[in-house]
Amino acid sequence: MTPDSVLDIGQRALEVTTVLGGVVLVPALLVGLLVAMFQAATQINEMTLSFIPKLLIVALVFMLAGPWMLRVIMTFSIDLIESIPELIG
């Protein structure tokens, strides 16, 4: 196992992690921003008002993008397991 192969595996793992995390976090961030703007405009300072919409949008994203996310992580894992003989020697 060469240092280049370790760096390649690490880079691919970080890419998969970033993509899968971004798919969930970006919509939650946008909904949080919209709720914060609504709270600032109406001067409503209720903490649950920002939590519930984010929770719902994250659940919706998992329902819609879950199969794709599962395929991405499975493809990465299968490729990694199949490359074990090459990495060993």
Could you read off the pLDDT of 42-61 as tens digits, one per residue? 988 888 888 999 999 999 99
> In percent, how much of the chain has pLDDT > 70?
100
Residue 21's domain comprises: 3-88
Q: How many domains does the chain have?
A: 1
Cβ atoms of 1 and 87 within 8 Å: the answer is: yes
This prediction has a pTM of 0.81
Q: How far apart are CA 80 and CA 36, in angstroms?
A: 42
pLDDT of residue 48: 81
